[in-house]
Structure 1
Amino acid sequence: MAPSDVSTVKRRLVGVDATRGLALVGIMSMHTLPTTDAAGHVTWTAALAGGRMAATFALLAGVGIAFLSGRRPVPPPERRGVAAALATRALLIGGIGLALGFADPDNIEVILPYYGLLFLLAIPLTYLSTRAVAVTGAVVAVGVPVLSHVARSHLPPFSGANPTFAHLVGDPVGQVIELLLTGAYPVLSWMTYICAGLVVGRLPLSSPRVAARLLGWGLGLALIGTLVSRVALGPLGGRHALYAAAAASGLPGSDVSYMLNVEADGTTPTSTWWWLVTDAAHTNTPVNLLHSTGVAVALLGAFLLLTDRVAPRGAAVRAGVGVLAAAGSMTLTLYSAHVVATNALGATDLDPAVDYLGQVAVALLFALVWRRRVGQGPLEAQVSRAARAARRAVAPPVRLASGGPNGP
């Protein structure tokens, strides 16, 4: 590879990793800082990060899968190897998540078990053309929330517990249903982000023009999602219908207000179809998926432009992007440590702002030092080693397109 090619790849990886680092910092804020103030209004941190950072995390998982699969439809001779590598990553990431299930769900809802299942379901998508993946994502974004709305009226409600090995062994069917449909991060709906990330990851991300288009298209999608929701809830009468349906079903109006203005627990009530037009965080409705996908795409485009055009000329910006990129290169390690720390500190009287800033500072410092002195994050190195071994076990080595694994 020529020096210019190496430089291009490095810039692309820094931009993707920096976006992932920002998403991690945003997710940490949702787990440690209050989501509402004393008057019951949503805080500015929750208004900015709520749902959007988790969606960015998931979309970048799709980008990582695109890199892992060579950034093009996987040809038949390579499919067994790619499937083995992704399945191994899925099992290990999901297993780590199940091991972290001891965390108090009131403090943090662990995303990794859902993440592992997303990786498994992404395997057949890597075989499809980019157009087919895009169409699949659009169908999922619109169709799955509708089907979920119908199906969940006949299913037990979300238990609110974090998935664990004990839950999976004791009630495998119920646990899988929660992971797929009724849980905090319903996998079937979240395949929207994986599809979007796969499409984005196959683009020439080193091109400033592509980065600018990602920024523009992302902002456009986010705005459309918000406008559709605002019109449907306001002039079309959706908000009034939601409160009326809640009153008829016995749901407190305060719960409706919280779900509309702050966040939900992954799904919405099934008392009325009007719930499908809210774009509030973690509602996973069509407009919420559209809005959060747009935000994630726009953030990635912005960071790609930043690393390509601004960072090379500004030392402060370059340093800030570098710190975020270091954290973004080892989010599995840092997220797992964050879960443990948040669960341990949740029983203390530590000020939330001190808790958050302290955890962020430690995470960023650790990532920067480890990245410079060792390289790949501790958990990332083990998962990557196992995935490579699984790939070699079922298929001979193949030359991938440049871009590196850069996985979650």
Structure 2
Amino acid sequence: MRLHGLDIARFLAFCGMVLVNFRIAAGVTPGTDTASLLTNALEGRAAALFVVLAGIGLSLGRPDRTTVFRRALFLFVVGLLNLTIFEADILHFYALYFLVAMPFLTASSRALLLAAAGTLLIGLISLLALDYEAHWTWETLEYANFWTLEGFLRHSFFNGWHPVFPWAAFLFLGMWAGRLELSSRRVQAHLVMWGGAAAALATVPAMLVQDPELAELFGTSAIPPGPFYIIAASGSALAVTGLVLALTPMLDKAGLAEWLAAPGRQALSLYAAHILLGMGTLEAMGQLDGALSPAQIFGYSMGFCALSMVAVWFWNLFARRGPLEALMRWSTDRAR
């Protein structure tokens, strides 16, 4: 079963990641303008939506463990290559999420929710027991000793950009959501209602504590990824998914659904393109030193997203899949 609304949601998640990543890459200091506030709201949310949608895809596609392992291996290799030019890569984390999820591919819905809760609990215990700031230089957002065994394991599972604990909870939650009747209007309404409620309620605990360290732990910022961040981002991801699914018939009637869904089906290729071409262009223009205003980087980001839609339309005249999607399919089939 393929729901075009999921592809549209994936493209929206990609656009959110572009807004956040381009601002970070360009060294733009957030302000109080509308562009800054919107981008601030997407930090840690767009990427979480991406992972939740990946989990939904696992449940809907029902791949066997061998296929998931081969896809994970492909993403891990591509992610490590990407790490050499973009330190906030998420692809190698995706690979680790898939490996952690492999034993749960045929698990019950209840087991998936328990796995999400367990992942969240391990992440919380790690935050309380370990030094989250180890290896980080926050002023430059650089992580030392990543290419050592200790640094790699700490970064991947504890204090990297998207560590397995607790970020894999998003994948488990998506796998659970993928078991629902997502084409049902009732289910879509429940996702919007309960997801929105979770996102809103998760912001309350931080308002009730006065201690700065506790406020950070109880907050909904992605760094560090405390339990209420996971709840808030999970809620917003489910709410957006339900809302987009509900709006897809109207978008289809307006002739917009396929335009928005097509780039969502090639999100892996577009993710690579936004680093190689989008950030590469910024670097060639000498705009990675904070010279751009928040409004300018916002406009550049939205322009790149619009250009991505057009590029995918032209690409689809000659090929059905994006280049990286085709390469992953080819490598998986060849291995088989």
TM-score range relative to shorter protein:
0.7 to 0.9
Q: How many residues align?
A: 320
The amino acid of 2:260's aligned partner reads L
Query: 1:149 is matched with which residue?
Result: 127
Q: Aligned partners of 1:203 and 1:117: how far apart in 2?
A: 25
**Aligned partner (choices 197, 201, 217) of residue 224 of structure 1:** 201
Q: Aligned partners of 2:44 and 2:155: how far apart in 1?
A: 18
Offset at residue 162 of structure 1 (A): 7.3
After superposition, the Cα gap between the structure-2 partners of 1:161 and 1:96, relative to the gap in structure 1 and judged at 3 Å, is farther
**Aligned partner (choices 30, 33, 46) of residue 36 of structure 1:** 30
Query: 2:306 is matched with which residue?
Result: 361
Q: Where do 4+ consecutive residues of structure 1 move more than 4 Å?
A: 39-42, 159-163
Alignment pair present for 1:21 and 2:11: yes
Q: Aligned partners of 1:389 and 1:208: how far apart in 2?
A: 40
Unmatched 5+ stretches in structure 1: 1-8, 71-81, 243-271, 394-408
Q: Aligned partners of 2:314 and 2:129: how far apart in 1?
A: 48
Render the CA deviation track for 1:19-77: whole Å, top value 9, x for unaligned: 0000000100012234512x79992222331111011011111111112326xxxxxxx
Query: 2:316 is matched with which residue?
Result: 371
**Aligned partner (choices 224, 236, 250) of residue 295 of structure 1:** 236
Query: 1:265 is matched with which residue?
Result: none
Query: 1:396 is matched with which residue?
Result: none
CA contact (8 A) 1:103 1:162 kept: no
Q: Identity of paired residues, percent?
A: 26
Q: Aligned partners of 1:188 and 1:365: how far apart in 2?
A: 37
CA contact (8 A) 1:158 1:183 kept: no
The amino acid of 1:378's aligned partner reads P
Secondary structure of the corresponding residue to residue 206 of structure 1 = coil
Q: Aligned partners of 2:233 and 2:135: how far apart in 1?
A: 24
After superposition, the Cα gap between the structure-2 partners of 1:40 and 1:204, relative to the gap in structure 1 and judged at 3 Å, is closer
Render the CA deviation track for 1:7-26: whole Å, top value 9, x for unaligned: xx45x2x1000000000001
CA contact (8 A) 2:10 2:50 kept: yes
The structure with more radius of gyration: 1
Q: Aligned partners of 1:162 and 1:362: how far apart in 2?
A: 32
After superposition, the Cα gap between the structure-2 partners of 1:305 and 1:40, relative to the gap in structure 1 and judged at 3 Å, is closer
**Aligned partner (choices 143, 152, 163) of residue 186 of structure 1:** 163
Q: Aligned partners of 2:57 and 2:154: how far apart in 1?
A: 26
Q: Aligned partners of 2:91 and 2:132: how far apart in 1?
A: 27
Query: 2:105 is matched with which residue?
Result: 126
Q: Aligned partners of 2:196 and 2:299: how far apart in 1?
A: 33
Instruction: Provide TM-score, normalisation by structure 1.
Output: 0.72
CA contact (8 A) 1:35 1:46 kept: no
CA contact (8 A) 1:102 1:162 kept: no
Unmatched 5+ stretches in structure 2: 288-295
**Aligned partner (choices 314, 325, 330) of residue 380 of structure 1:** 325
**Aligned partner (choices 259, 262, 276) of residue 217 of structure 2:** 276
Q: Aligned partners of 2:316 and 2:72: how far apart in 1?
A: 24
Query: 1:62 is matched with which residue?
Result: 55
Instruction: Provide TM-score, normalisation by structure 2.
Output: 0.86
Query: 2:280 is matched with which residue?
Result: 344
Query: 2:45 is matched with which residue?
Result: 52
